[in-house]
Structure 1
Amino acid sequence: MSMLSGHASTTQPACLGFCGRSFISTNYSEEATSTSSLSQCGACSFGYRSNATSICVPCETPLQAYDWMYLLFIALLPLLLHMQFIRVARKYCRTRYYEVSEYLCVILENVIACVISVLIYPPRFSFFLNGCEKTGLKEWYPACYNPKIGYTKTMRCTYEVVFPLYSITFVHHMILMGAIFTLRSILYCAMLYKAYNAKPYYLAIVSVPLLVMIHSVLSGLIFYSFPYILLIGSLWAMCFHLALEGKRPLKEMIVRLATSPTHWVFLTITMLMLSFGVVALITPLDIQYRWSLLCLVPVPLVFYLITIPFSNPATTMRLI
């Protein structure tokens, strides 16, 4: 199922753009030669895309590792965002018990959304996904490549060429919204209505539609750049978190990081995100010893700790 090119089929000329022909009365097979069963050029059905001969064929190629990492990135975005909302609202919480209960609820909401989203896509009721082969950024925006006949009439051939990576995100976020309305509402009504601020709940409800809007416009760009987003975002989060501790001696900083559960959890998450970004970046590469690059993951943290004495201008002037 390679991308549509200018090659024509043996019976009819190739369609333009991402358009394709569907079999009307017979199933597609390599031996099918009858032209009477082919439709006119148009958009392929859901779960299909046009091949090199302009015939709409089902997307039955197993997703590659990079595709799965993209879906994992999409699933982690609302999870980390909602956990950050809870962390910001910590000052309104009476006890750590209520805070942990909402963290667990957020994790459960996202797990439910991920599991259901994967199960309803083909092959259904399995934790595997089939999809279409992808070759470039423009396949994420087929509406921008609808062919024009005679430079006047536009042929509408907009469909999900990158099935299922585009639509499954909308399904995931829709299920996530339902899980938030159900589980979080029960949690607040049963436990937190008098002991906790509801800002994380309202922010979660608002953030999901915003993520959907961003995905609808920038999904293709995010697909090819999410490893860099992970790297930059995790490095920024790590530096910002450590900078909140202020200018402390190296030994004192190490002791605080080693003895505080909050620091342990936050630094573990940022290191995992940094590792995830490195893995996503090197997976498509065909180079020897590429996995050895994971050894560079602790370097930013070590570099920050070592250079703490040089971050004070007065100390720097004395060294000079």
Structure 2
Amino acid sequence: MTMLPLMMHCFFIDMDAKDRKFSRKQLILTASAFVEVALSAILATLFMEPMWELRLYACDVRKLTDWYTLFYNPSPNYEARVYCTQEAVYPLQTIVLVFYFLCLVNMFLIRPLVSKVMDVGGRSKAPIYSALYFLPLLTFIHALACGLIYYSFPYLSVAISMIANAIHYSLKLDQTLKALVHSSVCELKNVVIIAVHWMLLAYGITSLNYHYAFMCLVPFPTLFYILTVRFTDPGEFRELESRI
């Protein structure tokens, strides 16, 4: 869950940038977002039991209903319902909510200071406004669907990584093999984006508890797109139609 705010921050920082390449201001804001999220993750861990230690006391998760004890309040003798809801999966639900709150606090404390010191200017405002929308939304989604996210996260990681990789390459104007390979290797911005996609895919594969040999498949979506794009590029079909 710590990856979601970081990915969202990077996405909106990139969307707000006018240049297609990494600019100095964009790099500073991205580094600031990374520090904010990393600090929030560490603090959220320190605030949980045992306090001020980088380890957690956690309850085992046995089934999906462990996440939704609200619906299992007992009714002794079929009379009044006893509301004794507890977090059976402590702290797996609470720590994420605390983490999102700390992300918001750290963003307000760190981002404006970094922007002022590093002379980023007004470029930092739009990503902050975006975070005021997506952080509460992520909190709401986790509060409602935390159990579903817990069990489906490995598959979601794999699917999101592959879809994001395809979208990233499909947005490029030049779909030739040479141009895609050059941008993947030589442009810093694309290298960072591809690295994040690969890390997310590797994390999903690791979460599935399969053999580590499957890690060799991490570069496969990127290589598959680059090698097969000439067969699926709409421009090829338009040229063929014009010839006919």
TM-score (norm 2): 0.89
For the pair shown, the structure with the greater C-alpha radius of gyration is 1
Q: Please give the alpha-carbon distance, in whole angstroms, between the structure 2 residues aligned to 1:205 and 1:187.
A: 18
Residue number in structure 1 paired with 2:216: 295
Equivalent residue, structure 1, for 2:28: 101
Hey, what does 1:49 align to over in structure 2? none
In 1, the alpha carbon distance for the partners of 2:19 and 2:215 equals 39
2:41 aligned with 1:114 = yes
1:88 counterpart letter in structure 2: M
Unaligned runs of 5+ in 2: none
- Residue number in structure 2 paired with 1:134: 61
CA deviation string 1:231-252 (max 9, x = no partner): 1111111000101124533233
**1:304 equivalent in alignment to 2:225:** yes
Matched, 1:178 2:99: no
- Label 1:252 to 1:101 Cα distance change in 2 as closer, same or farther (>3 A): closer
Does structure 2 retain, via aligned residues, the 8 Å contact 1:142–1:158?
Answer: yes
Aligned amino acid, residue 296 of structure 1: L
SS in 2 for 1:150: helix
Partners of 1:256 and 1:106 lie apart in 2 by 24
Q: Which residue of 2 aligns with 1:44?
A: none
Task: Rate the CA distance shift 1:246–1:97 in 2: closer, same or farther, 3 A.
Answer: closer
TM superposition shift of 1:197: 5.1
Is it true that 1:235 corresponds to 2:162 in the alignment? yes
Residue of structure 2 in register with 1:167 after alignment:
94
C-alpha RMSD over aligned residues: 2.2
Structure 1 gaps of 5+ residues are: 1-73
How many angstroms apart in 2 are the aligned matches of 1:195 and 1:211?
Answer: 26
Alpha-carbon deviations, 1:64-92, whole Å to 9, x = none? Answer: xxxxxxxxxx1111111111110111118
- Range with greater deviation from structure 2 (182-191 or 138-147): 182-191
| Conserved 8 A contact 2:175-2:233 | no
CA–CA separation in structure 2 for the residues paired with 1:192 and 1:254: 34
Aligned residues: 238
Q: Which amino acid aligns with 2:217?
A: L
Secondary structure at the aligned position of 1:130 is classed as: coil
The answer to whether the 8 A contact 1:180-1:205 is kept is: no
Aligned position for 1:244: 171
TM-score normalised by length of structure 1:
0.69
Query: Which 10-residue stretch deviates more, 111-120 or 233-242?
Result: 111-120
Q: Residue 51 of structure 2 aligns to a residue in which SS?
A: coil
Contact 2:46 2:53 in 1 (8 A): yes
Q: Following the alignment from structure 1 to structure 2, what is the Cα–Cα distance between the partners of residues 211 and 156?
A: 27
SS of structure 2 residue aligned to 1:154? coil
1:261 corresponds to which of 164, 188, 193: 188
- How far apart are residue 218 of structure 1 and its match? 0.4
* Distance of aligned partners of 1:252 and 1:210 in 2 relative to their CA distance in 1, 3 Å threshold: closer
What is the Cα deviation at residue 309 of structure 1?
1.7
Q: Percent identity?
A: 28
Aligned to 1:62: none
